Structures are given as C-alpha cells and as structure tokens.
C-alpha cells in the first residue's frame, strides 16, 4: 500500500522535517507523499517528500536476479 500523507508535530520551535533515516523509510511507502509539519503554536509547513528526499532508494533500484535464483518463503 502507498501512504499518501504524513504529519509530524514538534513540541518546541519551528516545524521540523523528518531526519534522513525517516525520509528513507517514508520513501519506501511512496515518494509522492505529502508531508505536513506543524507545532502547537499553529505554524504549518506542507511539502512533498520527493522535494525533501529527491534521490531516495526504492525497490526499483534493485537489479533483477538473472542467475536462476528462486526465493523460498
């Protein structure tokens, strides 16, 4: 499934974007995701994950196996 949006609220200060590890994890659920940043004072920033993380690694970057390997679950 693809996640379409994610909200991140900081307790103090300006709304902060997700860290690099979180950006990668979010990217695995869809790079077109809308990110909504906010704080208790009501400051809000809305951006697209692809703008925050333009070259995220996805399963599309993996090479297809050609050595006859068959996965067994």
- pLDDT tens for 17-71 read 999 999 999 998 888 999 999 999 999 999 999 999 988 887 777 776 666 666 6
Per-residue pLDDT for 16 more than 90? yes
Give the pLDDT score at 69: 62
Predicted TM-score (pTM) of this structure: 0.74
Average pLDDT of span 5-16:
93
Give the pLDDT score at 31: 85
Burial class (CB in 10 A: 0-12, 13-18, 19+), 37: buried
Give the pLDDT score at 44: 96
């Amino acid at each position: 499934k693809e996640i379409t949006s994610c909200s991140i609220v900081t307790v103090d200060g300006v709304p902060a974007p997700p860290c690099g590890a979180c950006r990668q994890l979010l990217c695995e659920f869809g790079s077109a995701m809308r990110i909504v940043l906010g704080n208790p004072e009501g400051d809000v920033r809305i951006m697209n994950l692809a703008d925050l993380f333009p070259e995220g690694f996805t399963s599309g970057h993996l090479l297809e196996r050609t050595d006859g390997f068959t996965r067994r679950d």
